[in-house]
Amino acid sequence: MKIVVTGGAGFIGSNFVRYIYRERPDWRIDVFDKLTYAGDRRNLEGLDENRVTLIEADIGDEQAVDTAVANCDAIVHFAAESHNDNSLQSPWPFVETNVVGTYHILEAARKHNKRLHHISTDEVYGDLSLDDPVKFTPNTPYNPSSPYSSTKASSDLLVRAWVRSFGVQATISNCSNNYGPYQHVEKFIPRQITEIIEGRKPKLYGSGKNVRDWIHTEDHSSGVLTILEHGRISETYLIGADGEKNNKEVVELILELMGKNPDDYEHVSDRPGHDLRYAIDASKLHNELGWSPNYTDFKEGLSQTIDWYKEHEDWWRPQKAETEAKYREIGR
Ligand code: NAD
Ligand code: TDX
């Protein structure tokens, strides 16, 4: 088995590559990645080059996509512009990569008749109220809020159309917020951990009441592998680990785990259009494919993640100053 993993040098993609490397020792992996600011070849360090090859290319490059897809058995498509705050400053790269790039992946999968798994997000469903008793399910109507989530929603719709109109052998998964090692310091949890290491206060958008449904990235990987191997073609599966927490609780827990006063954070201005709550009902994946998460203790997973950032300062240090300079510009 040879798979192409687009975006395999980013946070979730590289964790998936390491997971497959360990769990499927006879598989070969071509990582197809543009190495944007969010991709890092160091995320693949230590992996045997006879099994993992990095193809440095853009999913907008039709020829490069065609060649990679022609030479594999299946594609797992993670590549995307992934940060909401960036999409509010500069939406075009999101349209280009998330929509047009996915179009190229679909056309290549169609031409070469290859199995495709498309990675998406719970944000395509918009947000829930804090007391909504019903979580997101595969039947929840699409209602995205931000340029990022609307381009992800668009990419999902393209996949559905290529399945129905052209018979492309595809599945889709929509996952909740991931945490774990190798996540860029622009994202919520690594930003706060590294702010504390640098001697500054964590930054909470608005009141901090917004709820995210946290899942360890390794559980996302096991969910994707389960769907790739056993999922029904044309189906959408939601991946989540019942990890709802509001942002204030998460900041307080990070501070506590790092030996600080849990109140020692600051409020900064809110994100425009900030989604209030995401929550995943993953029962289809549990009941139909027998998947369940391993990281059921958020505090333990968070503590391991904090340790990883403490031990890998050389990894995140090059991203940090530039990221904070960007946040200063927008007052967050
Ligand atoms: P990331 O920003 O850390 O990584 C994205 C990767 O894609 C990088 O390696 C980057 O170089 C690459 N890339 C970007 N544009 C490209 C292009 N045009 N051509 C080729 N490669 C390109 O993102 P992430 O957080 O690892 O997210 C990966 C996927 O998972 C995305 O599709 C995202 O929408 C989805 N997702 C993320 C989360 C989350 O919590 N982070 C949750 C659910 C779904
Ligand atoms: O400094 C911060 N302070 C803060 O309060 C940052 C960076 C974020 N936040 C808040 C905003 C959100 O409510 O924390 C929450 C999480 O923020 P992000 O890490 O930016 O994630 P989110 O916008 O929820 O989107 C993430 O999950 C779904 C990923 O970035 C997406 O790629 C994924 O699709």
CA distances for 238 relative to 36, 107, 123, 187, 230, angstroms: 27, 25, 11, 22, 14
Contact 124 CB / ligand 1 (< 6 Å): no
How far apart (Å, rounded) are the C-alpha atoms in residues 283 and 11?
26
The pLDDT tens digits of the residues spanning 268-314 come to 999 999 999 999 999 999 999 999 999 999 999 999 999 999 999 99
Q: Which of 21, 125, 148, 309 is catalytic?
A: 148
The secondary structure of residue 261, as a DSSP letter, is -
Q: What is the pLDDT of residue 170?
A: 99
Q: How far is the CA of 103 from the centre of ligand 2 (A)?
A: 26
The secondary structure of residue 53, as a DSSP letter, is E
The vertex-95 CA angle with 90 and 98, nearest 5°, equals: 115
Contact 181 CB / ligand 1 (< 6 Å): no
- Domains of the chain and any CATH numbers: 2-179+216-239 (3.40.50.720)
Contact 149 CB / ligand 2 (< 6 Å): no
Contact 203 CB / ligand 2 (< 6 Å): yes
pTM for the predicted model, two decimal places: 0.99
Q: What DSSP line would sit under 262-285, residue for residue?
A: TT--EEEPPPTT---B--B--HHH
The vertex-133 CA angle with 129 and 138, nearest 5°, equals: 90
- Closest residue by Cα to atom 42, ligand 1, is 177
Q: How far is the CA of 187 from the centre of ligand 2 (A)?
A: 6
Asked whether the beta carbons of 149 and 297 are under 8 A apart, the reply is no
Tens place of pLDDT for every residue, the chain, 332 residues? 999 999 999 999 999 999 999 999 999 999 999 999 999 999 999 999 999 999 999 999 999 999 999 999 999 999 999 999 999 999 999 999 999 999 999 999 999 999 999 999 999 999 999 999 999 999 999 999 999 999 999 999 999 999 999 999 999 999 999 999 999 999 999 999 999 999 999 999 999 999 999 999 999 999 999 999 999 999 999 999 999 999 999 999 999 999 999 999 999 999 999 999 999 999 999 999 999 999 999 999 999 999 999 999 999 999 999 999 999 999 99
**Is 122 among the residues known to form the active site?**
yes
Burial-class residue 185 by CB neighbours within 10 Å (0-12, 13-18, 19+). buried
Q: What is the pLDDT of residue 71?
A: 97
**Is 179 among the residues known to form the active site?**
no
Contact 82 CB / ligand 1 (< 6 Å): yes
What does the block give as tokens for 185?
Answer: 């310091």
Q: Which of 33, 58, 122, 156 is catalytic?
A: 122
